[in-house]
Structure 1
Amino acid sequence: MIVVISILEILLLCLGASVLIYRTQLRISEALSSGIIITFITLSLIFQTAFLLGQPNLAFALEGVLIIISLFILKKRSKYLIYFYQRFKNFSSQYKLIVGLLSIPWTYLGLQAVLLPPANWDSMTYNLARVMLFQQEKSLYLTEITTHRQAVFPVGSDILHHIFLRFYTDYGIGIFSFLAYVSIGLGTYALCRRYTSSQISLMATLVIISLPEVVYQSTSTKNDIITAATAIFCFLTVHRLLEKLTLTDVILLTLGLAFGISAKTSFLGFILPFSLFFGLLLLKKYKVGVLIKLIADNSLPFILLIIPIVILSQLWLFIHNHYFWGGWSGAETFTSIHKQSDGLKGAVANLVRYVFQSVHFLKLGDILFESISGLTLSNTLQNTYDSWLQPLLGDAGIGKDFTPAFNILWTPHEDLSWFGPFGFLLVIPGIIYSILRGKKSLQALSLTLMGYAVILCYKVVWMPWNGRFFSLFFAASGVCVAYFIESVKFKRKF
């Protein structure tokens, strides 16, 4: 029963947040997608605050207040709930076949997220294990640990599981990843509709939500899919800011970026190009004086925002890591394992490896190709790399624990899978095409994703399970896919 109550609480907060931010010029899909991430941000902030104060039970009181506020919002804005339902009914009627087909796997994934116990190795050794340690110590500052990961990694995503683990149950624990998956689908559609028709937007959305690694992560207890959903949240918010500068969206964007850091350190690789490319667009439209005036006219909200940002940005954790472990991200003996130290050559080598891994036609593709030619596609790719590129690239950029074993594995597993045929045939060409031919805002989005990928190649060693780091790159690219499909379709007409 407690699991059901906790799930209902999460869904209530998501719905309340969605209705709260909805306005007539906003698409329902955008409101729902954003509402999910706002709920994640709020719960993460509540749990982190309670633990940092050494009073985990304080979260119950704060959650109670949130529930009351959500119920009040839903009652006051009940007309929007009715409108949401009517729009969903109309959409379902218009796309009966698609909705009917999607309802089957989504129901299965939802049940799997709620009912199946977690089994991911990372989750069992630190993502979830550390939350149990937080509860035991009543603190987020861990010093007695079994693996360095439990102490030094950002806590913002993992701490969400406290809502179930505080009752010592793991039923329902995959709900956050599943909701992030739903948020990705809704957010992708909303973002695509800013550039393309509803049909093309729906097509691109189906491409993204069917990417193998994204599907595998939809029931996981890892944090990669949450960072991908957060990136889409930031893209949606900054697009609204490019249309109209509002205090609400500035605050939401700031919180979204901070939450991304609190979910996974690699999100910094997203923030850097995002801030650069979209920052230039915002400055070009509003000028520095307008932005300064917005802050000056709303000084109190921005002052109050400081504490949530400090907590969500993990500044407190990075300071603790520096003083206790000797580095902002942990001890040097630990962080050096994952740092790519071969410079530009290592980055180029990793980029080449990831391109080869992106040629992913699934196990079925291997079976079909082997039945025709006697060879498997994955082995053909592997042999090509080993014969032509390995002599040039060597082991540059590969983690020392994995040299010289660069393997192309088309394994249907969360840790080892990649992003399927659509990832190679639509996502990558779509991003490149959007950079070359897209509108300024679409170019900024595409360059942000490309910049994120380049930073990953440069900063992180190649490891067999690095595909999960690219969940953000592929899952947030739906609008590029839509723009690419529409452009190809338009050209074929002429």
Structure 2
Amino acid sequence: MFLPVLLIPLAAWVWSRLLISRADGMAGTWSRTLILLSGWMVCITEGLSAGYALEQQWLMVAWVAFLLTGILLLKDRTLLWTFTLPAIGKQERWFAGWILLVLMLTGVLACVAYPNNWDSMTYHLTRVEHWMQRQTVIHYATNNVRQVSQPPLAEYWILHILSLGGIDRLANLVQWTAWLISMISIWGILGVWGMSRKVQWSGVLLAAALPMAILQSTSTQNDLLAAAMMLQSVYWAFRVRNGNRQAVWWMLTAFSLAVFTKGSNYIYLLPVLPFAAIWVLRQFGWSCWKPALFGLAVLLVFNGPHWVRNHDTFGRWTGSDKTLVNDSHDPNQMLAVFLQNLAMECQTPISGWNRALTNAVMEIEKGTGVLPGEPTINWAPSPSFSVGMSSLHEDYTGNLLMVILSIVSLFILAGRYRKHPAVTLALMVVSMAVLFSLLLKWQVWHNRLHLPMLLLFIPAVAVALQYLHQHVRTGILIVVAAASIPWLVFNQSRPMVGKESVFRHYDYYQYFFNQPELLRTFLQLAAVADRNQVEKLGWATSGDAWEYPMWRILQDQEPEMRHVLVGNETRVFERSAWQPEGIVSNRAGLVALPRLQCHGRNYYRTYTDGQWAFFLPEPNL
């Protein structure tokens, strides 16, 4: 029964009514609502987790209490202002209509399509299943350390949705909602700068036409939520810049939630902090210790428990993989990473252009003394650098038009609007890109990590476009919107039309869109578990193996699933007293064995299919 999940949108609506303010407008109201609900959700998750009580009934109690509190407060409050839709011109109506159409199509797709993103199958959704089974978010033994080490805000939202609703398709709405709020925040930032509605509509249209955002809006990744939290941080920072002292509390809370969403936000926040500190100092003077203390407090409240769990397990607060960090910070090597990241955003359907761009980057690297595939700045598991064909996949797609507009905008802003706050934002984003290239090794999947930077830069682009002739500006926006249609309709993982359309296939088939060869294997493995009435299923897999589909296939049997034969730091949580009644493995060293031993018990291989095998316990003689 999915009705309990409606408590979340109901609570959002009630509290948004409480937070309405004429001064803040729609953007400020929904930003506050997102921050407030996210903070509440983190607190009840950690609180219930401490008592091993993360289950539907207690989550319902928490959300009902939150909803009733809002209703009681709303009952005693006179609403001084509410949202009104201003009259808009013909062009703005066309823009609004297109944006609404995009949101409707992606919203329907998000509700219909089953999750199938690679990372979701390996850790985003898998960690949620482990939390629900264990009724706690404390670390556990796992062969995929990302299931426990990564910042979990997006997965906390998914945890609440799945616990209350039980329908995993609804988990896609976390990203979709984050995209919607990102658009509202872009509108808000431009409003804080005093820009006209035409400029605001331009910014929202650019966000609605961004290829990577379109693809991710129907997935269960976390890049759009990471971008949304960064946009909240920047929005409130500019409110502080404009003299709003109350905005500082929301800004600092948004900072804390941003780093609780994704590790790359640590990097993206660094260029924002100096500007924010200066603006806070201007507003508070010697009393700036008060917001500083508040910021430290909310940072520890939201991130502290997860940091402690990571430190106790990995010896590092962030738990991040140290192999992802550049071994060298040489300027030439940083330039190489920067150019490779930029080139990957410029992929086109023209193979000759892509080859020329690849060769140009490699020639520049060669001229600066950087070797092709230099291991100190290129992540080993990633394929070698090469600009591929334009992709419709959420892990690889580029954003060529946005890159071109961003570069052109930099020249326009530098020449015309040097004192405009858009220049400050542009400086922030460029600094983010430089730090990103300085600190992280290049990998082919970086395009999705660039999404927060691209969305953050859109307000600056919208300001720069107003310098152009009206017809030129309108033509650019129409081209950008029209060019986004392939990503909207032909999403490689969740296509709307064609023989692979999500409207034509059942759930199991959709789970394996990105790994179709695994469908038969997982069904066979599940059949072996079901036939042998396995109630304790061990998972002895590699560090990036698919796992989530097995949870869904066996959801009626509800076996207890744990990782076994763990070889990383989380092995301290593996309990030898727990003896599985069956073991699934895709490790080459184990699959090839006719027998293996686990927790003092012998197992024999009863089924194998390619790289996967199923082991059953040998009978006691």
The bucket for the TM-score relative to the shorter chain is 0.7 to 0.9
State the partner residue of 1:371: none
How far is 1:97 from its partner?
A: 2.6
How far is 1:37 from its partner?
A: 4.1
CA–CA distance in structure 1, aligned partners of residues 312 and 414 of structure 2: 42
How far is 1:172 from its partner?
A: 0.9
Residue among 165, 173, 176 paired with 1:175: 173
How far is 1:325 from its partner?
A: 2.0
Change (3 A) 1:102 1:30: same
Q: Is the 8 A contact 1:211 1:420 kept in 2?
A: no
1:51 partnered with 2:41:
no
Gaps (5+ residues) in structure 2? Answer: 474-621
How far is 1:407 from its partner?
A: 3.5
State the partner residue of 1:116: 113
How far is 1:178 from its partner?
A: 0.7
Change (3 A) 1:470 1:77: farther
Farther-moved stretch of structure 1 (471-480 vs 385-394)? 385-394
AA of the residue aligned to 2:378: I
Secondary structure of the equivalent of 2:53? coil
Relative to its length, the structure with more helix (as a share) is: 1
CA–CA distance in structure 2, aligned partners of residues 435 and 62 of structure 1: 51
Secondary structure of the equivalent of 1:98? helix
1:70 partnered with 2:70:
yes
Secondary structure of the equivalent of 2:387? coil
How far is 1:65 from its partner?
A: 1.3
How far is 1:130 from its partner?
A: 0.5
RMSD: 2.9
State the aligned residue count: 462
1:426 partnered with 2:405:
yes
The equivalences for 1:245-324 within 5 A come to 245-247=244-246, 249-283=247-281, 285-286=282-283, 288-292=285-289, 302=294, 308-313=298-303, 315-324=304-313
Secondary structure of the equivalent of 2:324? coil
Q: Deviations over 1:339-378 (max 9, x none)?
A: 1113223321110112222324x54xx3xxxxxxxx6432
Q: How much identity, in percent, do the aligned residues show?
A: 18
CA–CA distance in structure 2, aligned partners of residues 289 and 440 of structure 1: 28
Secondary structure of the equivalent of 1:239? helix
Q: Larger Rg: 1 or 2?
A: 2
State the partner residue of 2:144: 147
Q: Deviations over 1:307-341 (max 9, x none)?
A: 6532322x3322332232233333xxx72321111
Secondary structure of the equivalent of 1:342? coil
TM-score by length of 1: 0.84
AA of the residue aligned to 1:147: N
AA of the residue aligned to 1:88: L
Farther-moved stretch of structure 1 (67-76 vs 196-205)? 67-76
1:377 partnered with 2:353:
yes
How far is 1:387 from its partner?
A: 4.8
Q: Is the 8 A contact 1:277 1:447 kept in 2?
A: no
Relative to its length, the structure with more strand (as a share) is: 2
1:475 partnered with 2:455:
yes
Secondary structure of the equivalent of 2:260? helix
Residue among 154, 158, 168 paired with 2:155: 158
Q: Is the 8 A contact 1:452 1:473 kept in 2?
A: yes
State the partner residue of 1:370: none
Residue among 314, 326, 341 paired with 1:354: 341
CA–CA distance in structure 2, aligned partners of residues 177 and 307 of structure 1: 28
Q: Is the 8 A contact 2:391 2:397 kept in 1?
A: yes
Q: Deviations over 1:86-139 (max 9, x none)?
A: x23745988433333333221111111122111011011111111111122222
Q: Deviations over 1:251-301 (max 9, x none)?
A: 222211111111111111122211112212332x23531424x569xx9xx
AA of the residue aligned to 1:343: H
Change (3 A) 1:219 1:290: same
CA–CA distance in structure 2, aligned partners of residues 10 and 78 of structure 1: 24
CA–CA distance in structure 1, aligned partners of residues 134 and 27 of structure 2: 40
CA–CA distance in structure 1, aligned partners of residues 278 and 245 of structure 2: 17
State the partner residue of 1:460: 440
State the partner residue of 2:39: 41
CA–CA distance in structure 2, aligned partners of residues 91 and 42 of structure 1: 37
Secondary structure of the equivalent of 1:476? helix
AA of the residue aligned to 1:347: M
AA of the residue aligned to 1:66: F
How far is 1:306 from its partner?
A: 6.7
How far is 1:386 from its partner?
A: 4.2
